Amino acid sequence: MESMGLNRVPVITIDGPSASGKGTVAHLVAKELGFHYLDSGALYRLVALKALQSGVMSTDEKKLALVAINLDVVFRDEEIYLEKKQVTEKIRTEECGNMASQLASYPAVREALISRQRAFRKLPGLVTDGRDMGSVIFPDALLKIFLTASPEVRAQRRYKQLIEKGLNANIAELQKDIQERDARDSKRGVAPLQKNADARLLDTTSLSILQAQNRVLEWFRECCADESV
């Protein structure tokens, strides 16, 4: 890898709002291509979970940055371990998600996680999803996608996920949370959620997961063909 350089390792970034399905699509694309996968949102959720466990206030940027720097986390297949304890489901709660969205607006926290995210770039390639993967973390990505869906459909998808996990959920409250998170993520001063000019728009409102996955794979093959010309 050293001889070819990290910038030659292909990266597909899939950015987009909460509950848009970008994580599911990214995971499936990575599996199909045999690439590594990074759920960048999981890192922010891990910081949120550790902060909640440690009693760190969501408004204390300095202490939250220290939590991010000292995060003892291991990604193993589809499971996530925080300080050797499996927390794959714990970080998916609405409480963790809302706090993660809030602390993601702090420059010190984002800076603390940059190198950790870029370390996932390894051969044969990487598929990653988040809010600023294509704009900040991997600006030279081979393929950049902005994946979205209507708030109503996203609330329905999140509701289905929670119910399948045996958790209580209310569609109206979920839609309200999603819209508030969209506003917070798009208006934050650092790395706001937005579609960059060099990103392809993928609206999955009326698409199945399989259709969305195939669209990304099609675009990736087009990019690879262009690169070889």
Q: Mean pLDDT over residues 14-41, rounded? A: 94
Residue 17, annotated ligand binder? yes
* 23 marked as part of a ligand binding site: yes
- Confidence (pLDDT) at 75: 87
Domain contains 36: yes
Residue 175 covered by a domain: yes
Q: How confident is the model at residue 229 (pLDDT cuts 50, 70, 90)?
A: low
4 pLDDT band, cuts 50/70/90, is very low
Q: Which domain holds residue 163?
A: 10-220
> How confident is the model over 51-68, as a mean pLDDT?
96
120 inside domain? yes
What pLDDT shows up at residue 1? 36
Number of domains in the chain: 1
* Whole-angstrom distance, CA of residue 207 vs CA of residue 182: 21
The answer to whether 68 is annotated as binding is no
Residues 6+ apart with CB under 8 A from 98: 177, 181
Q: Which of 201, 61, 34, 38 is nearest to 119 (CA)?
A: 38
Higher pLDDT residue, 97 or 216? 216
Instruction: Express each pLDDT in 79-127 by its tens digit.
Output: 999 999 999 989 988 889 889 988 988 999 999 999 999 999 999 999 9
Q: Does residue 207 form part of some domain?
A: yes
What would the two tokens of residue 5 be? Answer: 């350089």
Q: Maximum distance among all alpha carbons in the chain?
A: 55
Q: Which residues contact 73 (CB under 8 A, 6 or more apart)?
A: 43, 46, 80, 81, 82
- Per-residue confidence at 5, pLDDT binned at 50, 70, 90? low
Distance between CA atoms of 126 and 174, rounded to whole angstroms?
Answer: 31
Is there a binding annotation on residue 16?
yes
141 inside domain: yes
Q: Please indicate whether residue 218 or residue 8 has the higher confidence score (pLDDT).
A: 218
pTM: 0.87
Q: Does the annotation place 189 within a ligand binding site?
A: no
**Per-residue model confidence (pLDDT) at position 125:** 97
What per-residue confidence (pLDDT) applies to 46?
A: 97
Looking at residue 2, its pLDDT comes to 39
Convert the pLDDT of each residue in 166-209 to its tens digit. 888 899 999 999 998 888 888 877 778 888 899 999 999 999 99
To the question of whether residue 18 is assigned a binding role by annotation, the answer is yes
Q: Would you say residue 150 lies in a domain?
A: yes
Provide the percentage of residues in the chain whose pLDDT is more than 90.
70
Is 19 annotated as a binding-site member? yes
CB neighbour list of residue 100: distance below 8 Å, 6 or more residues apart: 41, 44, 45, 47, 48
For position 32, which CATH number holds? 3.40.50.300
Task: Examine residue 227 and state whether it is found in any structural domain, yes or no.
Answer: no
Residue 20 assigned to a binding site: yes
| 125 lies in some domain | yes
DSSP string, 171-216: HHHHHHHHHHHHHHHHH-SSS-----TTSEEEE-TT--HHHHHHHH
Question: Is 205 annotated in some ligand binding site?
Answer: no
Q: Where are the beta strands (DSSP E) in 43-84?
A: 73-76, 79-82
